[in-house]
Amino acid sequence: MCGGAGAVASLRAALRARSSLLRSALPHVVRGTAVLCATGAIGTVAVTGYVLNGVHCSRRRDYADEFVLTPEDLNMPYHEVQFFTEDGVSLTGWFIPQSSGGRPSRRVIVCCHPHNSSKSNLLGVARGLWDRRYSVFMFDFRSFAHTKTRQSVGYFEQRDARAAVRCARLTAPEGSEIGLIGASMGGAVALMVGHEAEVGAVGIATDCAFANLEDVLETAVSGALRLPLPAVAVIVWLAGVLNPLLFGYRLSDVSPVAAVASGALAGEVPLLIMHAEGDAIVAVSQAHAIHSAAAVSADQKELVVVQHCQHIGCFFRDRPAYVRRLVDFFDVAFASAEARNAAREPKSQRSQRRDGFVPEPASSMPDARTE
């Protein structure tokens, strides 16, 4: 009995000692946990700040910026223009005039280049359109403005596109119609502004455009940092919280899929959505999302998925077929717009507005699927 009582007493003493140890250690555990949480929170905020800085930092200027091809190098006449955006940014563009039937063409395509690219990168596409009697207006987004200014991935650039269209209308013959083509970010911008009354596009063609900025950030963060998906989701969510405070707009404001789904494409603006099947920057699923969401009738939207190429590589996969696809699309879009205009005009004026060429039958691109 005495031995049992001694064992119980020893056990009680041990428990009291352990309890005392836990009580003394608990504050340290709490402080350590708090430090870890704070460190994680600070790290998350720091990574989010880095991501947002990457979206908005001005492109680094380089002496090679001046070493670019011009339309003249591709045997196209052009003149350079300067124009200003609504927030006072000075931009430059090239107007490449074409004629049809001895008259200046009133069919003008405005080209919107990819993020941190330049207008010269779309010269191959411009030459293909110009050869088919379209005038072309090319311009640089604000990342190539002479004076550094705040830029983004599709928000502030909408102002650039609107200003470019205004300049194109002033430069082209009176009564000209405008079509838009854009690659990557340029395509996203074209989708967001093309329906606006001020722009009034008769057709919009895109190449590897993204559906919304949040998805692009998610892909970029996941690929660059190799974080687990929950951590990526937290960073993108926090970016959405901080961006309005730091830059004055919501990430959800950069959403081509929302723009086309809202029914804002009044007047059935036709859409041609091209995308590279192997795109690792903007997943091809985003093209499907845009196509499915577009609030236009089925015969006014087309999705072309080009196999065996990467982001904005469709043109280089088969250049003649790519240009034919664009021309077939714009021929129909402009002809439809001209027919609507002619129906509203006095008969005596109709011949003055016709460009005088008939759309050719639609052609196909090798290794391409259409919907």
Q: Where are the beta strands (DSSP E) in the chain?
A: 79-84, 90-96, 99-100, 103-104, 107-112, 135-139, 177-183, 201-207, 271-276, 301-306, 368-370
* Burial (0-12, 13-18, 19+ Cβ within 10 Å), 228: exposed
* Burial (0-12, 13-18, 19+ Cβ within 10 Å), 190: buried
pLDDT of residue 221: 85
pLDDT of residue 306: 96
pLDDT of residue 31: 47
Per this entry, what is the length of the chain?
A: 371
pLDDT of residue 249: 95
Nearest to 112 by CA among 166, 165, 170: 165
Residue where the block lists tokens 């009044």: 266
pLDDT of residue 163: 97
Domain with CATH 3.40.50.1820 in the chain: 70-212+254-370
pLDDT of residue 21: 54
- Give residue 307's identity as a one-letter amino acid code: Q
CA distances from 354 to 111, 134, 317, 347 (A): 23, 13, 34, 12
Nearest to 355 by CA among 82, 194, 132: 132
pLDDT of residue 293: 94
Please give the Cα distance from 241 to 260 (Å, whole number). Answer: 24
pLDDT of residue 104: 95
pTM of the model: 0.83
Token pair of 218 as six digits: 């998610």
Q: Name residues of the chain where pLDDT drops below 50.
A: 28-38, 353-362
pLDDT of residue 59: 83
pLDDT of residue 32: 43
- Give residue 39's identity as a one-letter amino acid code: T
Nearest to 312 by CA among 276, 278, 288: 276
Quote the CATH superfamily of domain 70-212+254-370: Alpha/Beta hydrolase fold, catalytic domain (3.40.50.1820)
Nearest to 319 by CA among 163, 128, 167, 165: 128
The bridge status of strand 177-183 relative to strand 107-112 is: parallel
